[in-house]
Amino acid sequence: MAQPATETRAGERPWWLNLIWQGKIGPAFWTVAGVISLTVNIVLLAVLIVLAQHLFTLKHIVQDQLLGGLSANFAAMDAAVIRTTVEVHDQIPVVFDLPVETETVVTLTQDVVIRGARVNLVTGGLQIIGAPANIVLPKGTQLPIKLNITVPVSTQVPVDLTVPVNIPLKETELHQPFVGLQQVVAPYQQLLAQTPDSWGPVLCPLLEPFCSWLHLSTEPRPASP
């Protein structure tokens, strides 16, 4: 019974081994190197094709979502306003001298004896001028007086306040860092904006019939929001 053509006869080497080894080291080396190089090139070509399919998707993600999102958020942070309330509960020391200069009336709370006073007394036919005497001012007597004194004041004043706070960040020292971050991102946005959004603008000027067959457009796609 005849053996199938795909099977090798006893003692014969497979065809692929004959292709690699022909009895000399030099041709065998170059054959193996060529096979490896061809395999690597095929793998790299496949990787490039896969990357090419997603290249512009990655471009839109980086341009619109990553860089665009960073720039928009930096601008929003620069325009933000901090609004809050601050509760203040404290004791404030108050120390000063208070000058007092005024006229008032005081009432005696007890009898007051004035010794060695000089009195003038005119009664009937009797007249006494500048006679020494001891005078008693009874309790309840009202005396008009003039005050000219300095009163020292030292006390603690309680403070309970609710202070509204409204701070625009663009009017603080954070404004310049936020603007600087936007300026860092802007060149990359402009660079990506100048690149095509599809393979059409790249290939169609050179391969117009091929592009017409594949219905590729040279018009850039609108940027995603």
DSSP structural state of residue 171:
G
Please tell me the distance from the alpha carbon of residue 224 to that of residue 61, in angstroms, as a whole number.
9
The reply to whether 122 falls in a domain is yes
pLDDT for residue 158 = 93
Please report where in the chains the tokens 């169609």 appear, as a residue: 204
DSSP class per residue in 46-103? HHHHHHHHHHHHHHHIIIIIIIHHHHHHHHHHHT-EEEEEEEEEEEEEEEEEEEEEEE
What's the total number of domains in the chain? 1
Question: The pTM is what?
Answer: 0.47
The reply to whether 4 falls in a domain is no
Q: What are the residue ranges in the chain where pLDDT is below 70?
A: 1-29, 31, 53, 198-225
Structure tokens at 5: 């053509």
pLDDT for residue 115 = 87
The reply to whether 186 falls in a domain is yes
The reply to whether 136 falls in a domain is yes
Please tell me the distance from the alpha carbon of residue 200 to that of residue 105, in angstroms, as a whole number.
105
**CA dist 10 → 3, 18, 19, 20, 167 (Å):** 11, 15, 18, 20, 93
187, 205 Cβ separation under 8 angstroms: no
The reply to whether 216 falls in a domain is no
Please tell me the distance from the alpha carbon of residue 30 to that of residue 181, in angstroms, as a whole number.
55
20, 28 Cβ separation under 8 angstroms: yes
The reply to whether 116 falls in a domain is yes
Range(s) of the domain holding residue 121: 15-194
The reply to whether 217 falls in a domain is no
Nearest CA-CA partner of 64 in 54, 72, 76: 72
pLDDT for residue 125 = 72
DSSP structural state of residue 129:
E
- What phi and psi, each to the nearest 5 degrees, are found at residue 76? -65, -40
Tell me: the pLDDT tens digits for 104-161? 999 999 999 988 888 887 777 778 888 888 888 899 999 999 989 999 999 999 999 9
The reply to whether 178 falls in a domain is yes
